[in-house]
């Protein structure tokens, strides 16, 4: 007996949409207990165990093979798993939770409209202020790699796990790299997106672990879930 462990986000809109997405494919995800308890069950496919996890932790658990399948953002998978292609496979893009990881700078930076400008500004800023221009983000790996590929230097990343749009006003950063869906928060904080290609275009996605034990029941359940997705 080796049940398939399916992890879905433990709360919020992402969880609701995940439940709806599976329901449309004849798979019912049910939270058990009081609704505050992080436990659940799966009806419609045999031998599937529901695991409720923070979307941010699902990539790590998939990479470790402790869960078989998980719903999380493409952004989080790429940020948190080195060589993610070898650790997980993308089973289905789910069509919600769309968000782009973008670079944003103050709107008043009228002289900055692309990465070429940003590269020039970081160099000038460093010469003037004696420190590297600070970019606040929680996506360190993705942002660093993106800027390296685009030949932007003279910056430093500062960690920001929330309210990143506020860091510039608070003088703890000069630019930010963050997830945005509508851009409303950026607008409200007097920021503008650099229109170069987004660092990552993300959406909620069902991933499978390449490192989990797929023997027995888990493998059978996997096939059943894949069939349901294909039929929908």
Partner 1 sequence: MIAARAYLEDGRIGAGLAAVNAEVARILAGFDSAALVEPAALLPADVLIDLYGEDLRARAFTTHDPVLGEQMLRPDFTVPVVQMHMAVGNEPARYRYAGQVWRKQEPDSDRPTEYLQVGYELFDGTDIAAADAEVFALISTALKDLPVQPVTGDIGIMLAAIDALETNERRKAALRHHAWRPNRFKRLLARYSEGAAVSADRAALLQAAKSGTLKDVLQQNGPVIGLRSTAEISERIEILLAESEVEPIAREQVARLEQVLAISGKTDAAIKTLQALNADTTALEARANALEKHGINGFDLPFKAGFGRTTLEYYDGFVFGFHAPDHPDLPQIAQGGRYDALTRVLGQGQGIPAVGGIIRPEALLALKGAL
The residue ranges that bind partner 1 (CB under 8 A) are 82-83, 86, 106-111, 113, 116, 119-121, 123-125, 128-129, 131-132, 140-141, 144-145, 147-157, 168-169, 171, 173-174, 189-190
CB 212 to partner 1: min, Å: 19
Cα–Cα distance measured from residue 18 to residue 9, given in angstroms and rounded to the nearest whole number: 8
Closest separation in Å from C-beta 101 to partner 1:
17
- Who contacts 76 (Cβ-Cβ below 8 Å, separation ≥6)? 55, 56, 58, 59, 202
Q: At CB < 8 A and 24+ separation, what contacts does 218-224 make?
A: 218/2, 218/3, 218/4, 218/5, 218/47, 218/68, 220/46, 220/47, 221/3, 221/4, 221/45, 221/46, 221/47, 221/48, 222/4, 222/68, 222/69, 224/45, 224/46
The least CB distance from residue 184 to partner 1, in Å, is 17
Nearer to partner 1, 22 or 155 (CB): 155
Q: Which is nearer to partner 1, 111 or 162 (CB)?
A: 111
User: Measured from the CB atom, is 89 or 116 closer to partner 1?
Assistant: 116
- In whole angstroms, the minimum distance from the beta carbon of 194 to partner 1 comes to 13
Measured from the CB atom, the residue of 51 and 88 that comes closer to partner 1 is: 88
């Amino acid at each position: 007996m080796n049940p398939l462990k399916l992890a879905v986000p433990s709360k919020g809109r992402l969880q609701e949409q995940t439940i709806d997405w599976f329901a449309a494919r004849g798979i019912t995800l049910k939270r058990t207990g009081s609704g505050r308890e992080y436990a659940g069950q799966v009806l419609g496919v045999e031998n599937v165990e529901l695991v409720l996890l923070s979307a941010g932790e699902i990539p790590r658990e998939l990479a470790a093979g402790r869960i078989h399948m998980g719903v999380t953002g493409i952004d989080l998978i790429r940020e948190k798993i080195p060589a993610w292609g070898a650790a997980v496979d993308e089973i289905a893009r789910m069509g919600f939770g769309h968000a782009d990881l973008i670079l944003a700078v103050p709107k008043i930076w009228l002289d900055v409209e692309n990465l070429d400008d940003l590269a020039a500004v970081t160099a000038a800023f460093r010469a003037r202020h004696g420190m590297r221009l600070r970019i606040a983000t929680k996506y360190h790996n993705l942002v660093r790699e993106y800027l390296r590929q685009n030949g932007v230097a003279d910056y430093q990343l500062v960690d920001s796990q929330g309210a990143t749009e506020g860091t510039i006003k608070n003088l703890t950063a000069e630019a930010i790299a963050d997830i945005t869906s509508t851009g409303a928060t950026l607008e409200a904080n007097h920021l503008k997106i650099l229109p170069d290609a987004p660092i990552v275009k993300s959406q909620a996605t069902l991933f499978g672990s390449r490192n989990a034990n797929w023997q027995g029941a888990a493998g059978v359940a996997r096939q059943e879930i894949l069939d349901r997705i294909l039929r929908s």
